[in-house]
Structures are given as C-alpha cells and as structure tokens.
Amino acid sequence: MRAGDRFVIRLEVQETGEEPTVELPEDTPLAVRLRERSTGAVVRTIPIGADRASAEALAQRIADDLARSDVDAFVASYGIGSAPGNEVRRAYLGIGSNLGDRAALLQSAVDGLAATDGITVAAVSPVYETEPVGGPEQPEYLNAVVAIDTDLTARQLLEVARRLEREAGRERGERWGPRTLDVDVLLVGDERVDEPDLLVPHPRLYERAFVMVPLADLDPMLAPWVPPGEAGVRRSEVELVQPQTQ
C-alpha cells in the first residue's frame, strides 16, 4: 500500500486542529500533523510556531514522501508508531466501571490488555468502590490501576483503550456520565504527549483519589501524596486476576 493511501499530512492551527485561514492572527501557533486517512487519528504532531512558510514547506516535503513511499518504508523512516528504539516501558492505565457487571467488565479489560500484542500485564492493583466525581448523579464506580510493560507508544495505548471500551459496549453519552468501561492512559514511562486528544501524564491524575489510591498500591513513589476525596474510596471485595503472561 502507498503511504498516502494510509496517511494524510495537514497544516493545522495547533490548538484547534482547524485549517489556517487568511484572517488568522499572524502569531497563531501552527502544527504539521500526520493523520490516519480513514479515522483522522493523529499519528504525529510537529509543532512549528507561527512561521507559515516553513510549515507549508515541511508539509509539502512530507506530502512528497507520502506519494513516493510504500507504508512500511514511510513508517520506518519516520519512526511512526514505535517508541524510540522500541524499548519496553512501564505504563499505568486507570480502569473504571459503573454500569453492568462492573467486576466482570474490569476483568475483561485486564484480560484484553494481556491478550494485546506488545503488552504484558505486570501488576493489577486492588479494586476500590468509589463515589462518582463530576458529571450527573450516577452509580458508584469500581476503579483499579493496571501496570503494563509495553513497547507501544502512548498513542497506540490510547487506541487499545478505545478498542477495549468499544468491546465493553460503551456508549458515548453525556460528558462524565456513567459507563460500562473507562480505560485511561495515565503514564507511559517518562513520555510526554500534549495533543488535542491525548495528554500524558493524564492531566487530572494527581487530583483524583480514585486513581492515586490504587496507583500508590502499585508504586508508592508515583503517588507520594493522596488527594482529598480519599474518604470516597473504599477497598472492594472484588479481586482482579492477573492473567498469566503468554
């Protein structure tokens, strides 16, 4: 397959992802973004600053490569989809459920992670019964944190998280509403991602007792203090099974 059939390069306003218009203030930060053609998912962001001519030149150069290369050659030469050097890193994912058979849904998330190529489940925290924070009135959550070893990038982990949520029958409704399964990418080694649809470390990680308490169980160094709200976080009878490594 030709790389241009799979990916599209766009010049975007960094904040909004929109196409820059002529009325745009001259100092608006721009980004050149490579996206999956079919889903629009961001594969790579190159922040450019406000220099529109440079941004256009870069986008054109990448567009030429997309037209010339096959997918494998393009992905290899741009290092897309892999951590630098493909090294394995420890990552932490938050899981939560407050609809349906919550314990079974959390266990299938853990099993789904273990069954994913490039992921080994290293540890699963205790499960907590937690009072809902934010959003409408809704049932209590079961929350836990999963430690994984992975050579996937934060972006690839986000795609895995979305697949697991979809497989759990999650329906997108009201913001912060009840859900069968929520999988959040909390930390991926020391990778930092700051893109419109993905922020790692998770920006509200340190404010949420329902994440920090189970995270502290796995590695107290990552959660040296636990935020207020601890009162709404109680150990559950539910125990998740750590799948055997394949």
As annotated, the active-site residues are 170, 179, 182, 184
Among Mg ion, ligand X6L, none, what binds residue 135 when CB lies within 5 to 8 Å by partner kind? ligand X6L
Per-residue mark of binding to ligand X6L, 184-213 (x: CB under 6 A): ------------------------x-x---
> Whole-number minimum distance, CB 105 to ligand X6L, in Å?
12
Interatomic CA distance for residues 68 and 49, integer angstroms: 27
Minimum distance between the CB of residue 203 and ligand X6L, rounded to whole angstroms? 11
For residues 224 and 96, what is the distance between their CA atoms, to the nearest angstrom? 22
Beta bridge partners of 35: 8, 42
Taking CB under 6 A as the criterion, the residue among 45, 116, 130, 156 binding ligand X6L is 130
Structure token pair of residue 61: 């150069």
Residue 3 or 186 with smaller CB distance to ligand X6L? 186
Cα–Cα nearest to 95, from 159, 157, 146: 146
To Mg ion, the closest distance from the beta carbon of 182 in angstroms equals: 4
Closest by alpha carbon to 138, among 181, 180, 178, 182? 178
First to last CA, the chain: 32
Nearer to Mg ion, 184 or 195 (CB): 184
Coil/strand/helix, residue 17: coil
Q: 125 and 109 in contact (C-beta within 8 Å)?
A: no
Please calculate the CA angle 37-199-87 and round it to the nearest 5 degrees: 80
Binding mask 144-183 for ligand X6L (x = CB under 6 A): --------------------------------x-----x-
**Contact predicate 160/119, CB 8 Å:** yes
Tell which one of 124, 182, 215, 233 touches Mg ion (CB under 5 A). 182
Structure tokens, 158: 């986000």
Reference 160, options 192, 193, 185; nearest CA is 185
Q: 4, 112, 132, 214: which one contacts ligand X6L (CB under 6 A)? A: 132
Least distance to ligand X6L, CB of residue 43, Å: 26
Residue whose CB is less far from ligand X6L, 66 or 95: 95
Position among 96, 112, 201, 214 found at the interface with ligand X6L (CB under 6 A): 96
Residue 165 touches Mg ion, criterion: CB under 5 A: no
Residue of 183, 189, 196, 166 whose CA lies nearest to 35 = 196
Query: Applying CB under 6 A, does 24 fall inside the site for ligand X6L?
Result: no
* Binding partner of residue 202 among Mg ion, ligand X6L, none, CB cut-off 5 to 8 Å per kind: none
Question: What is residue 187's DSSP assignment?
Answer: E
Of 40, 47, 134, 173, which one interacts with ligand X6L (CB under 6 A)? 134
Q: Which residues bind ligand X6L (CB under 6 A)?
A: 96, 130-135, 141, 143, 176, 182, 208, 210
